[in-house]
Chains A and B, each alone.
Chain A
Amino acid sequence: MKKHLSLALMLIVSACMLFAGGSKEAAEGLDPINVSHHPYIHGLPTIVAENEGIYTANGLAPNITMYGGGTAQNEAIASDAWDVGTTGMAGAVLGVVGYDMKVIGATVYDGNTIDIWVRPDSDIAKVKGQVEGFPDIYGTADTWKGKRIICQSASNCHLVLLATLEKFGLTADDVEIVDMTVAQSYPAFKAGEADVVGLWAPFGYLAEQEGWIKVSSANAVDLAFYNLIVATDKAVKEKPELVQRWLKTYCEGVEAIRANQEEAPSWLYEFSLDEGITTTEEDCVKEIALRPFPTIEEQKELMNSGELKDLFLTFAQFLVNQGNLTQADYDKLATGDFIDTEFINNL
């Protein structure tokens, strides 16, 4: 009996020991830094920087984690899982409010790839340019009214959708919005659900292939979206020199992409496959062309002029309207110093 119990215990403990993970040691002479991205284009500069030896040249040993989205990335701040990284606008707003995250730069412009789509036989697609000053929006108030729309709530897509409805004098109450993540929205719409769908890249490229019609977009309603370069409050306070060096490294990765526009799509393609994201080289060409990286000078302009803060606050106000933030949160943002221009101005 004792023999049997000991055997069972030994087996369990051995299995646990066998599978126990080891921690990565930073390379000698390099400063470790925990970097967080999403497995999409704004994570590419880090990968390029790593592959091209830019991290090593700047004395950094990155521990890179790719989070599926901003929510998970923000939750990981609590366990000190990362110091610096990039995220989308929604993730950044919620990260600043919930975790005192700092915005230290701007990256990939998203205005070209946040779109609203319908099937070709939709009555919305029949007419275009009915709203003065917004020639790229399709449909009329009557054709939009009562439509069932799949859209991820509190997202860039949602903001574009509401802005589109507003142009026709409509509100969210005039349509039926079905909340679904963008990843689920595409197959749901493809399966015949709803009349309209809000998508962003790379799902927009699939929508194009399906022959769906783009009836509105961030550009069409004059909304601008940037992804953001961020750092945790703790990293900014406790290791500003590392944050500075990392931002330099990331921006050098951006410059490498900007300087190699012909090679960049294949870098993105390889990066996507490495992260388990199925894509095509053609879609990567579109990604690089439609989602440009701002230069350091453009970032400085965006941040020092207050434009980035305005865009940020526009999105925050939208989240307040949706009930995702309180007015107190907004006021805290409006008066706060969450945009830290010091790092980018030092470059």
Chain B
Amino acid sequence: MNQTKEILKTIGFTMLSIGLFLVLWTFLAVRNPDFLPSPLICIEKLGQMMGRPISRVSLGGHILSSLRRVLLAVFFATLIGLPLGLAMGWSRKVNAFVAPIFEFLRPIPPIAWIPLVILWFGVGEVSKVFLVTLGAYVPILMNTVTGVKMVPPVLLNVGRIYKASNVQILREIVLPAALPAIFAGVKTAVSSGWMIVLAAEMMASRSGVGFLINRGMEAYDVAMIIVGMCIIGVVGYLISIVLTFLERRLCPWKTNLE
């Protein structure tokens, strides 16, 4: 009974928050409709965009294009970040060797790479995925290093007492113990990848949510820009839900601790 009450309360607060946001948006839109179209106009625009492909790609196709780039980039970022992070967290020598370069590259925003990426890979898919990968590998690597370093020494000692090899300790103790941190890194990588993909799609793209926002800007179609922004928000939120679900499946002990 109490649980139902709590759920209803949560839904109530969520609805109130969305309602207030829409009221504020409408209030501002009425005052200056040229610069901020009302929610209704944006919904109408969304309807148009759903009913008519833009540049021969449906709205769903644009969203999938962006999503594909982000997922591919996160896949490659995991391929790079996970083993490197494990090695850096496990071995001081590897850490001393890689950390200076990593710390030097880490603060450079992926967008700053755009001119070089265009020179190296042109303006096709490779450059876009590469750019997102540049932004996505950082949180995965950092979280993996932290996750490995934070493995409780008692667990490692147990492994050593049982004469487990380094590979066994890494595989059976360190990796599972660091998994929640690694997963948190992947979650952050997906979010930041989703942000970077928009910038990547502004360079000669034929599809994607970034392309839609850019097209809206070129044509002074503020409603299209806002619809694009809302799509980012909604898809980002859905991704977060999916990742939280995956995290619960992959790291059930973490959920239990929470």
Contact = CB atoms under 8 A, between A and B. Distances in A.
A191 B34 CA distance: 10
Contact of A79 (B123, B175, B218): B123
Contact of B224 (A66, A183, A278): A278
A183 B220 contact: yes
Contact of A68 (B56, B67, B74, B214): B214
Given A8-B250, A81-B123, A81-B124, A68 B35 contact: no
Nearest to B207: A21
B176 interface: yes
Contacts of A20: 68
Given A16-B75, A274-B53, A72 B217 contact: no
A270 to B, nearest CB: 10
Nearest to B218: A183
A19 B204 CA distance: 20
A289 interface: no
B68 A75 contact: no
Contacts of A186: 220
B123 A72 contact: yes
Contacts of B75: 12-13, 16
B52 A15 contact: no
Contacts of A16: 68, 71-72, 75
A67 interface: yes
Given A75-B204, A81-B124, A183-B220, A276 B215 contact: yes
- Contact residues on A (Cβ < 8 Å of other chain), bracket: 35 or more
Contacts of A12: 71, 74-75, 78
Nearest to B57: A276
B204 to A, nearest CB: 4
B19 to A, nearest CB: 29
Contacts of A345: none
Given A13-B75, A191-B35, A81 B55 contact: no
A75 B72 CA distance: 24
Contact of B67 (A19, A73, A277): A19
Contacts of A276: 49, 54-55, 212, 215-216, 219, 221, 224
A79 B124 contact: yes
Contacts of B123: 72, 75-76, 78-79, 81
Overall SS of chain A's interface: helix
Interface in B169-184: 172, 175-176, 179
A73 B75 CA distance: 29
B64 interface: yes
A312 to B, nearest CB: 24
B9 interface: no
Interface in B195-225: 203-204, 206, 212, 214-221, 224
A236 B179 CA distance: 56
Contacts of B217: 183-184
A273 interface: yes
A12 B74 CA distance: 9
Contacts of A75: 118, 122-123, 203-204
A39 B55 contact: yes
A78 B216 contact: no
Interface in A156-203: 183-184, 186-187, 190-191, 202-203
Nearest to B222: A187
Interface of A: 1, 4, 7-8, 11-13, 15-16, 19-21, 39, 65-68, 72-73, 75-76, 78-79, 81, 183-184, 186-187, 190-191, 202-203, 206, 273-279
26 contacts: A4-B249, A4-B250, A8-B250, A11-B246, A12-B71, A16-B71, A16-B72, A39-B215, A66-B206, A67-B204, A68-B218, A72-B203, A75-B123, A75-B203, A75-B204, A76-B122, A76-B204, A78-B123, A183-B219, A186-B220, A202-B219, A274-B55, A275-B55, A275-B215, A276-B215, A277-B218
Given A65-B206, A78-B118, 16 more contacts: A1-B172, A1-B176, A7-B249, A8-B250, A12-B75, A16-B75, A75-B118, A75-B122, A81-B124, A190-B34, A191-B35, A276-B215, A276-B219, A277-B215, A278-B221, A278-B224
